[in-house]
Amino acid sequence: MTFWLVLTANSITFGGLLFLLSAGFSLIFGLMRIPNLTHGSLFMLGAYVGATFVIGMLGVKMNFWLAAVLATLTVAFLGALAERLLLRRLPGDLLAQVLVTLGLAFMAADFCLMVWGGDPLSVATPPELAGFARLGILVFPNYRLAIIVIAGVVAIGLWLLLERTRLGAMIRAGVDDPDMARVVGIRVSQLFTIVFALGAGLAGFAGIIGGPILSVYPGLDQDMLPLALVVVILGGTGSLLGSFVGSIIVGFIYNFGQALLPELAYFVLFLPMLLVLLLRPQGLFGRHVP
Amino acid sequence: MSGRYLALGIALVALATLPYWMTGIYYINVASQILFYAIFALGLNVLLGYAGLVSLGHAGLFGVTAYAVAYILQLGFGHSLAILGALVISMASMAVYAVLSLRATGIGFIMITLALGEILWGLAYRWISLTGGDNGLNVQTRPELFGYSLSDVNTFYYATLIIFLLSLGAVTVFVRSPLGAALMGTRDQPRRMNALGYHVWAIRFHACLFSGLLTSVSAIMFVYYTQFISPQTLALTSSAEVLLMVISGGAGTLLGPIVGAGLVVIVKTVVSGFIERWNFLLGAIFVAIVILMPEGLVPGTVRLWRLAWRKRARDAKAVPGSAEAKP
Amino acid sequence: MSRKVTRRKFLAGTAAGAAAATFNFPAPAIAQAAPFKLGLLTVKTGPLAQGGIQMEQGIVTFLKEKNYTFAGRKVEFISADTGGNPAGTKTKAQELIERDKVDTIVGPLAAFELLAITDYIAQQKTPCLSLAAAEDMTQRRPNPYFLRASATSSQAMHPMADFSAKELKLKRIITISEDFAFGYEQMGGFQQTFEENGGKILKKLWPPIVTPDYTPYLAQIEGVDGVCQGFAGSNPLRFMKQYQAAGLKYPVVTGETGGDDALLRSYGDEALGLHSACPYTLDLNTDSNKRFVAAINKDYGVDPGFYCAGLYVNGMVVEAGLQKTGGKSDDKAELMKAMKSVSLTDTPRGPIKFDRFGNVIGDIFIRHLEKANGKLINKTVKTYKDVSQFWTYDEKKFLEQPVYSRDFPPVKS
């Protein structure tokens, strides 16, 4: 019985982490039509930078949440730089965007290896969330439950941003029709920088939040990028609700699939992804047929 | 115009005489690798450059062919059967791959091919009785062509060169043919092509098969060269690598993929011996290409060359002292 | 690379040569002026770089200690980055052998890399010393040019199982390891010995190599009194953290990669109590180990682990082999024979010698992860002496059974 409960709880928490990872990708792709293949690297950079702050520099250890905020800002800044200096020159040029994002991914991966070496870094769980919670017969780590809360807060925050603020309205207009948005006077290029920075920051945030669970190691970028792609495909691009629901669904498929169908462990995510693509290419909640 | 033919002629002569002026077996081997990876890139370019379809799973098909060769050889059959069998298997796989992927275009196509590539990679790991899992399969010997053994470095190089030239010829013929033109039409204006009565899906499907043929030829050369195949060859990073070869060299051009293949192979094999952080360098080169020549190395170089010529011609024509003279 | 042969050198050489011929001395250094070329195949980019970097540290430390001179001959060291994939390994092996004309290769790191070049190195008659644990390289498909001074995948797991059954008194274990050959071979070896000693393996779990979250597997661990894991690279760190987060408290036993001393700097308290079996242990009290650890501490500021020590020992074997051939490396078969016959008593991993397949017979150390002075250490609690790749089994019988795989030995329950 606990087996099912643990898997269910973990599906939701893993889904929460996946949401944090993929929300940024979905946003960038939905608005700017850029497949940001650097996304995994941004996740890893956020994890490394955050881990460095948590482990402590010059003997000063930092509070986990402060480190997370700083890591997020750092990665958001790097994202903004990449957008302004590189991606801005390539509107609509899919191939060049693929080339530059992959090139940046190579550079980021090797950079992390240069700076942090080959050894994995352990990120300590923030002490206030260490320990376990008892929910009936289920005993589950506090931190993982906290991730559900964090993902929920971020989801609500993004929703409020998109639905209730002027910036959000401009973003939605840009997603629906960039040319009309320009005609109406929306500074689309500035918007793009902000959105890319936001997406990158989300990825970095996801990286450090995932740190206590996943640790940080070379190759983390390549491990997480396909997961982001699967979520975005299942949930549909450009849709926040799609990202959220898609993440939870992928969380369930991942946990139950690996546990119950170990023979298919390597395909457990890609088979459903393929099925969805064949039957409904725009994903569950996507609006545009890609 | 004649300048281009002269350059190509010189290149051909250089390639034909390479074993004589290239110092060392090792570098001749590097040249062989560049050539068969160039065939792979040319194959991907048929879809990427001329059909506008970005395939992120091509390494999966490459791997299927290589495994087919290795497996048939392990069963005890000879090289001719292995090669023939591999070609048949890979064309069949490509047909299935195409039918599934062509259900969508644009990002949908990219994602389906990604999923298919990952599934093939997973199969390579799990289907241990067929693939040997991550231990891979060894290919003990290389075949003999007309009495010449491909185990000899120079022979292998020449065999690869001939196959490369044939492939390049095939791609040139294809691109210049009505089918090629129709394909480019479906890339640029799919709806109009449909309205004009072209069967867009069938055109793309045939392009996929042609791409698959080139990919499998390249894979056969690869597996005989390395004499080993394992799941790493089908990983997403391998698909990304060949994609980068095509894009960095110039998608939609004949020479672009060849230059791209040369770039990646040289940095990975030769430069990595001198520069420890060669991965970073490779990424930086790609970023630089995007900044300076986003259309790719070959079209970009041609463009810059033409600009330089035009500037020279303009300067030469300007009469000194007149308003047209450049400072 | 021309050397100016001055008259003095020439005369000295001739005199020395004449003296050698007369008195049967081993050929002096002057007559062997060409350097001995040692090539390293390692991984310095990508996820495998963790072990690859440590490998280079190990061999370079040994070379520096010997002042880049083996048996009176200068050593030229060439390092090649394979990128962690088999095609790259083949290419770099070709570079080292065909372009750089190396006399011996140390490395590569991974089993699949080694398998990609095994035919090639035999064909080129280049001695190769690797840590790659692929069992059949020294069992059912032995390569005469291959030497392994570390261990096969199961070499340390047999004693680990023995210890688990006899000293930890464990009876029911679930194994969990990555879904690839190294995992299968480790767990297979553990299972065979554990079950012979009255234990029972209830289930064998195989998460794919890329598994960010092990919870779906951890949720299946119950009804046991111990867990055996065989993770490698950076996965042990993640596994132990998630193991603790899953609320599991059963004792965990592991092999050479799961409890590697090099991971101690990354591990946290979640790893306390871990028992591991390894051919190398940091606290081994031999002179060479003390020297080795001090040198690594000084040059790199870290404690060495299994990969680092492995390459250092490889260096020792190469040097000892060269001592036996009198510095000569032209006849590769002779060099190989010399290295295979090497028997050392003072190495960072204790005494070693090789069996007829080229695999090491050496000590396996059982360690217990504890805290001392606020730092994590692996305390050696038992030493199994002179363990071979066949453990206590009859060699012939062992070779007749299939190689340890996902389904062999089969789970009986």
Q: Are A277 and C218 in contact (CB under 8 A)?
A: no
Interface of A with B (CB under 8 A): 29, 35, 37, 86, 89-90, 93-96, 98-100, 102-111, 114, 222, 226, 229, 233, 237, 263, 266-267, 270-271, 273-274, 277-278, 281-282, 289-290
Q: Are C229 and C277 in contact (CB under 8 A)?
A: no
Query: What is the arithmetic mean of pLDDT over C316-333?
Result: 92
Query: What is the arithmetic mean of pLDDT over B135-159?
Result: 88
Would you say residue B284 lies in a domain?
no
Q: Does C46 touch chain B (CB under 8 A)?
A: yes
Contacts of B140 (CB under 8 A, 6+ apart): B73, B227, C119
**What pLDDT, on a 0 to 100 scale, did the predictor assign at position C236?**
95
**Position B279 pLDDT exceeds 50:** yes
Q: Could you tell me which residue, C286 or C10, shows the higher pLDDT?
A: C286
CB contact under 8 A, B247 and A289: no
- Beta-ladder partners of B199: none
Preceding omega of C108 cis (within 30 degrees of 0)? yes
Judging contacts by C-beta atoms under 8 Å, the chain B residues touching residue A282 are 108
Sheet with C36-42: list strands edge to edge: C69-70, C73-81, C36-42, C104-106, C128-129, C146-147
CA distance B67 to B74: 10
ipTM: 0.91
For chain B, the domain total comes to 1
Query: What is the arithmetic mean of pLDDT over B162-191?
Result: 91
Per-residue burial over C212-248, b = 16 or more CB atoms within 10 Å of its CB, e = otherwise: bbbbbbbbbbeebebbbbbbbbbbbbbbbbbbbbbee
Q: What is the DSSP string of A55-112?
A: H-BTTB---HHHHHHHHHHHHHHHHHHHHHHTGGG-TT-HHHHHHHHHHHHHHHHHHH
Q: For chain B, what percent of residues have pLDDT higher than 70?
A: 96
Range of the domain at B60: 25-234
Q: Are B55 and B251 in contact (CB under 8 A)?
A: no
Residues in chain C: 413
Would you say residue B128 lies in a domain?
yes
**Position C4 pLDDT exceeds 50:** no
Would you say residue B181 lies in a domain?
yes
Q: What phi, psi does C294 have (nearest 5°)?
A: -65, -40
C275-278 and C252-254 beta bridge pairing: parallel
SS3 content of chain A, % helix, strand, coil (to 5): 75, 5, 20
**What pLDDT, on a 0 to 100 scale, did the predictor assign at position C23?**
44
**Position B322 pLDDT exceeds 90:** no
Would you say residue B301 lies in a domain?
no
Query: What is the arithmetic mean of pLDDT over B255-274?
Result: 92
Q: For chain A, what percent of residues have pLDDT higher than 90?
A: 49
pLDDT tens track for C380-396: 999 999 999 999 999 99
CB contact under 8 A, B24 and C208: no
Would you say residue B243 lies in a domain?
no
10-residue mean pLDDT series, chain A (290 residues): 89 94 88 88 96 82 89 95 88 86 93 92 89 85 93 93 86 77 80 91 95 93 90 80 89 93 86 86 65
Would you say residue B211 lies in a domain?
yes
Closest residue to B280, CB basis, from A90, A107, A237: A107
Contacts of C268 (CB under 8 A, 6+ apart): A122, A124, C241
CB contact under 8 A, A122 and C266: yes
CB contact under 8 A, B107 and A237: yes
Would you say residue B273 lies in a domain?
no
CA distance C192 to C401: 11
CATH number for the domain harbouring residue B152: 1.10.3470.10
Q: Are C120 and C86 in contact (CB under 8 A)?
A: no
Closest residue to C247, CB basis, from A3, A118, A132: A132
Q: Are A19 and A151 in contact (CB under 8 A)?
A: yes
Q: Give the range among A126-130, A237-241, C231-235, C337-341 with minimum mean pLDDT.
A: A237-241
Would you say residue B220 lies in a domain?
yes
pTM of the predicted model, to two decimals? 0.89
**Position C128 pLDDT exceeds 60:** yes
**What pLDDT, on a 0 to 100 scale, did the predictor assign at position C32?**
52
